[in-house]
Amino acid sequence: MVVHYPRGVLVVAVFLSGLAGFVDAMGFIMLGGFFVSFMSGNSTKLSVSAADGLVTTALTGAGIVALFVVGVMIGSVTGRRFGIRHRSAVLTLVTMLLILAATAHLAGWTPVAISLMITAMGAENTTFEREGEVSISLTYMTGSLVKMGQRLVTAFSGGDRWGWVRHFLLWAAMVVGAFLGATAHRLVGLEALWFAALWGGILAVVIARRPPVPTAAE
């Protein structure tokens, strides 16, 4: 089933995907090749590390995956608690986690900051939850590329000509966001988390100003 969203919601989703790329790039640099939002890559790396006998690296990967899942759980619980205001509630949570991450880094607790970054990215993925399932993937770009390919086949077969565009935009936003995140990290380090927090806060305000949508009707 294809879920159709208002244009404004899709714009927010694209900017959230960009935010994920921004944070992910900084995490990738800090963690030496692990991601804070892309768990498929982390799962492969932890498995290869385990096979090579690199126990510490494998445990790092497992810890990142576990924190991400915890973030998803916290985001999902928050969203369900706030019902029709679940989107703005989750985005507020994400913003708070990013602010805490930036503050932790400022205090010299960089491992804590990275842990909060991972948790925030897990929570972000629950922004568009419908009946307990994610309806717009914000960090899983493999899925978006698969859907884009399928929609392109549909377009070439005489169906919806533009159904692939939203998936392309989600992927492109993450790429651009990752470029900006890597550039910001080169310039100011993890202090760039304050930009990420501002980014999340703006999106939380934007989505809060939209009419509330019942979860089951998204």
Burial of residue 206 (CB within 10 Å: 0-12, 13-18, 19+) is middle
The backbone torsions φ and ψ at residue 189, rounded to the nearest 5 degrees and listed phi first, read 70, -150
Number of domains in the chain: 1
Domain that holds residue 112: 7-208
Each residue's pLDDT tens digit, 84-119: 888 899 999 999 999 999 999 999 999 999 999 999
CA 115 to each of CA 61, 87, 88, 192: distance values in angstroms, whole numbers, following the listed order: 12, 23, 23, 16
Would 215 be classed as within a structural domain?
no
Residue 114 lies in a domain: yes
Which DSSP string corresponds to 104-122? HHHTT-HHHHHHHHHHHHH
- CATH number, domain of 142, equals 1.20.1250
In tens digits, the chain (218 residues) has pLDDT values of 444 556 677 888 899 999 999 999 999 999 988 999 889 889 999 999 999 999 999 999 999 999 999 999 999 999 999 888 888 999 999 999 999 999 999 999 999 999 999 999 999 998 887 665 556 677 778 878 888 899 999 999 988 888 889 889 999 999 999 999 999 999 999 999 999 999 999 999 988 887 665 544 44
Look at residue 67 and tell me if it is in a domain.
yes
